[in-house]
């Protein structure tokens, strides 16, 4: 209701609220919450439990958010397994790192332009998004547009922002240039294809051989991929003959490792750079000596969390708004499956790929 008030009344409402800071009125309290918790590291299906969390009092500048949706990303799984370098403390860690919610209540001295009903995301993202209500300081929350599907607001930070940064931070690309990537069916991969297209950059994409890979190939082409190859198609000496009129790429993105990284390297031009940002196959990157000597290739790495901690991260919220703008314009889309919170086990099973390849699982609270 409050979001329908004219701006002047909203300001008045906030001022009244902040005055109550000096009154003896009791501070607002969050509703009881349900959270996905773990007390020790291990396989998600072994260590996760859904538990009731009692209501908490809001501090003066806290905002209580009713979560709408949050994805299960590979890094969420790695945190639960205990193999991710930065993890929430145990016991009582809550899963999840990004997501979208709706402002439920404001502490009496909140000054951010937030009203009940607004959509907000934690930005930079922060631990513990897999719960129905979250109370955090107002500075944590970034108001986002609510005219896009909630699953996009829930997933915009970790993967699309990674794609955007990697396209901008390593090699200066001009319209007409090309990049190469493996793991192209991932959300990062799908985002790379579309963000590159917006800037006139061609993409050469490598996907793994699996049931449904022909269909996946067609979907990536519909998103704007110039070329999509299955790994088995690249078992040849001169893969560059497959490029036709496309220029040799100066930049490659690797989120798989093993053979898929070796195939990516075959495409890189003299002096090219491969950026590794994931290791889905759990196999190491192996580089032939000749690639260093005769091609002078560079190997780099990207980690969004490190980038978020740098001074460059100041513009993070502007980039989020830009990305959601592209979603709104229909220029950025990717496959997701919204799954009710009550079906957490099923969502985890799918996210872990136990039943083969699945779209990104997004829990709806």
Ligand X SMILES: NC(=O)c1ccc[n+]([C@@H]2O[C@H](COP(=O)([O-])OP(=O)(O)OC[C@H]3O[C@@H](n4cnc5c(N)ncnc54)[C@H](OP(=O)(O)O)[C@@H]3O)[C@@H](O)[C@H]2O)c1
Helices (DSSP H) in 150-234: which residue ranges?
Answer: 150-155, 158-169, 187-198, 213-223
Give me the residues paired with residue 133 across strands: 66
Does 277 sit near ligand X (CB under 6 A)?
Answer: yes
Q: Write the binding mask 42 to 81 for ligand X: x where contact by CB under 6 A, - elsewhere.
A: -------------------------------xxx------
Indicate the residue among 108 and 258 with the shorter CB distance to ligand X.
258
User: Exposed/middle/buried for 109, CB within 10 Å: 0-12, 13-18, 19+?
Assistant: middle
When asked if residue 229 is in the footprint of ligand X (CB under 6 A), the reply is no
Member of 61, 104, 350, 360 binding ligand X (CB under 6 A): 360
Report the alpha-carbon distance of residue 10 to residue 315 in Å, rounded.
Answer: 27
Give me the least distance between CB of 130 and ligand X, in Å please.
16
Between 89 and 118, how does the x/- string for binding to ligand X read (CB under 6 A)? ------------------------------
How far apart, in whole angstroms, are the C-alpha atoms of residue 349 and residue 361?
A: 10
With CB under 6 A as the contact rule, the residue among 99, 124, 125, 183 that binds ligand X is 183
Residues 184 to 203 in contact with ligand X, rule: CB under 6 A? 185-189
Active-site choice (84, 97, 152, 277): 84
Examine the residue annotation and report whether 291 is marked as an active-site residue of this protein.
no
Of the pair 112, 188, the CB lying nearest ligand X is at: 188
Residue 258 φ/ψ region, left for φ over 0, alpha for ψ in the -120 to 50 degree band, beta for the rest: left
Q: Which stretch binds ligand X (CB under 6 A): 5-13, 91-99, 183-191, 317-325?
A: 183-191
Q: By CB under 6 A, is residue 129 in contact with ligand X?
A: no
Stretch that binds ligand X, among 32-40, 173-181, 220-228, 296-304 (CB under 6 A): 296-304
Q: Where do runs of H (alpha helix) occur along the chain?
A: 7-19, 44-47, 74-81, 150-155, 158-169, 187-198, 213-223, 258-267, 289-295, 304-308, 316-328, 344-351
Find the binder of ligand X among 256, 327, 332, 347 (CB under 6 A). Answer: 256
For every residue of 13-60, DSSP letters joined together read: HHHHHHHGGGS-PPPPBPPPEEEEEESS-S-HHHH-EEEEE---BPPT
CB 178 within 8 A of CB 225: no
Instruction: Rule CB under 6 A: say whether 225 interacts with ligand X.
Output: no
Return the active site residues. Answer: 84
Residues within the interface to ligand X (CB under 6 A)? 73-75, 158-159, 162, 183, 185-189, 207-208, 210, 255-256, 277-278, 280-281, 302-304, 353, 357, 360
């Amino acid at each position: 209701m409050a979001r329908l008030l004219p701006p002047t009344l909203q300001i008045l409402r906030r001022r009244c609220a902040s005055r109550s800071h000096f009154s003896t009125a009791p501070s607002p309290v969050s509703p009881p919450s349900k959270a996905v918790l773990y007390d020790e590291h291990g396989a998600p299906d072994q260590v996760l439990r859904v538990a009731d969390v009692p209501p908490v009092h809001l501090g003066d500048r806290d905002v209580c958010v009713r979560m709408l949706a949050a994805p299960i990303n590979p890094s969420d799984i790695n945190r639960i397994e205990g193999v991710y370098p930065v993890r929430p403390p145990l016991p009582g860690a809550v899963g999840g790192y990004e997501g979208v919610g709706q402002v439920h209540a404001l502490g009496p001295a909140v000054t951010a332009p937030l009203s009940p009903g607004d959509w907000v995301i934690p930005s930079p993202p922060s631990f513990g998004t897999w719960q129905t209500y979250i109370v955090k300081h107002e500075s944590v929350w970034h108001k986002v547009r609510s005219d896009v599907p909630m699953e996009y607001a829930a997933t915009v930070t970790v993967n699309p922002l990674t794609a955007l940064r990697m396209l901008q931070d390593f090699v200066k690309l001009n319209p007409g240039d090309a990049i190469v990537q493996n793991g192209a069916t991932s959300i990062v991969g799908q985002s790379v294809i579309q963000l590159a297209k917006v800037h006139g950059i061609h993409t050469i994409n490598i996907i793994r051989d699996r049931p449904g890979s022909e269909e996946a190939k067609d979907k990536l082409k519909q998103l704007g991929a110039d070329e999509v190859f299955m790994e088995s198609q690249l078992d040849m000496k001169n893969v560059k003959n497959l490029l036709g009129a496309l220029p040799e790429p100066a930049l490659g993105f690797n989120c798989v490792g093993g053979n898929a990284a070796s195939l990516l390297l075959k495409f890189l031009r003299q002096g090219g750079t491969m950026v590794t940002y994931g290791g889905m196959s759990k196999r190491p990157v192996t580089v032939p000596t000749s690639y260093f000597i005769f091609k002078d290739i560079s190997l780099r790495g990207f980690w969004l969390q490190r980038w978020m901690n740098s001074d460059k991260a100041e513009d993070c919220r502007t980039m989020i708004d830009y990305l959601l703008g592209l979603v709104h314009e229909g220029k950025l889309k990717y496959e997701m499956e919204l799954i009710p919170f009550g079906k957490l086990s099923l969502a985890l099973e799918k996210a872990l790929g136990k039943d083969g390849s699945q779209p990104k699982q997004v829990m709806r609270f």
